[in-house]
Structure 1
Amino acid sequence: MQSCQSTYDQTVKTEMAQGPRFETLKFDLTFNDTKKEFFAKCWELNKKGLIKQGPKNQYVAYELKNDSTQNITHLFYGIFDDQQQMVGLDMEFAYDGWSPWTPELQSDKLLYVAMDTLQSWYPGNAFFKVTNEKLDKETYVKIDGNRQIIVQTSGDKDVKATLEDLRYKFPNLK
């Protein structure tokens, strides 16, 4: 029966059963921070000049200095459950100098830079490609214990990533 399971399903089950448990995220955010704690931590980071308000006040913005090409803006915002506790992060990456006529700054190139950045922030297992008929674009996933990161392009400019606590997503696999 196990041979019928996808690599993704097998990895989730193995990591949830045997993998380490992760609570801490970038910027000292943690799974289960309340929405109020998330805002307080972001406020302190903003006062220190480490982050700023993102577009339309919908994201937090962090500027990544990239030596090889252009600077990258990393946007993020907490994903909260019904009890207003953080169970993940929605993230976006985009080159600051992006334009439609700069092929080296398109999302298909940024995808691998974003994955390298996320790998350095969240070390452990490598990203692997996920194939599923419901996915209409190249999608990669990284699973370490209870922490999952899904990454894919979004149009020509952006790379979207979602970091999730699998204990919330799959409560029966705790």
Structure 2
Amino acid sequence: MVFIVVLGCNRSNEAKYKLFEKNELAKEIREDSLFKGLYLKMPFKDFRTYSFDMNIQGHFKQGGQKSPNWVQCKLDEMTYPATLTFYPQFKNDSINELNAAIYYENAKFNDGVFEKDSLLLDVLNLMDKWYGGEFFKIKSPNFYKEDVYVKLKGNRRITVYPDAGGQIINLWYVDLTNLKEDRQ
């Protein structure tokens, strides 16, 4: 079951989230796990070796809908066959951010089987299974953009949002301690 915190009207959504983020960072708890054995602060060399080993075992391969340079793997935990594609960003030779995308394989969203939000709900449930906790649902300030879902624990922030067509769900993992260092 996915728990979503809808931010109220008295204070702006952004202000409430910023306060929550400040309180989480003040706890100085590190949450570095990402998925499939990857983690924040993973050294570049370890990432390359691990990805190569996973490729040899048939778990990872290069490619995907987002970029042919990304890494992709199958997701067996979803309602329908799905693919996860990703590639990290490195700072000081270790992972500090990771962009990812999830999409159903061979899905046609106009065939009556899938609704536009089917994939989003499936991904939110997967995130709940992997990480627990609650999502903040933040309304987009742009009327043509979808809502954004944010899960935060310790230093790890996960932002979940659909692409314009809803056929790909984007994930953005960030180590907030790196952002904090960049601001100073």
Q: Shorter-chain TM-score: which interval?
A: 0.7 to 0.9
Corresponding position of 1:61:
72
Among candidates 147, 153, 168, match of residue 158 of structure 1: 168
1:168 is matched with: 178
Residue 42 to residue 67, structure 1, CA distance change in 2 (3 Å)? closer
Q: CA deviation at 1:164?
A: 0.6
2:139 maps to 1:128: no
Bigger helix fraction: 1
Deviation (angstroms), 1:28: 2.3
The residue number in structure 1 matching 2:7 is: none
Matched residue of 2:170: which SS? strand
**Amino acid in the other structure paired with 2:101:** E
1:42 counterpart = 2:51: yes
Q: Number of paired residues?
A: 169
Q: Which runs of 4+ in 1 moved over 6 A?
A: none
CA–CA separation in structure 2 for the residues paired with 1:67 and 1:38 = 25
Answer yes or no: is 1:20 the counterpart of 2:52.
no
1:24-76 CA distance string (max 9 Å, x none)? 322222222233321211111111222222235321111112574x2011111
Query: Given the two structures, how large is their TM-score scaled by the length of structure 1?
Result: 0.84
Are 1:75 and 2:85 counterparts?
yes
What pairs with 1:94-133 in structure 2 (closer than 5 Å)? 94-123=103-132, 125-133=133-141
Name the amino acid aligned to 2:69: Q
Shift of the 163–75 alpha-carbon distance from structure 1 to 2, 3 Å rule, reads same
Using the TM superposition, give the Cα deviation of residue 97 of structure 1 relative to its aligned residue in structure 2, in angstroms.
Answer: 2.5
The CA RMSD over aligned residues, in Å, is 2.5
SS of the residue corresponding to residue 119 of structure 1 reads helix
The gaps in structure 2 that reach 5 residues or longer are: 1-10
> Which 5+ residue runs of structure 1 have no aligned equivalent?
none
In structure 2, relative to structure 1, the CA distance for the partners of 1:11 and 1:66 (3 Å cut) is same
Aligned position for 2:6: none
- Which residue type is aligned with residue 141 of structure 2? E
Q: Is the 8 A contact 1:19 1:144 kept in 2?
A: no
Q: TM-score, normalised by structure 2?
A: 0.80
Aligned partners of 1:16 and 1:173 also within 8 Å: no
Secondary structure at the counterpart of residue 93 of structure 2? coil
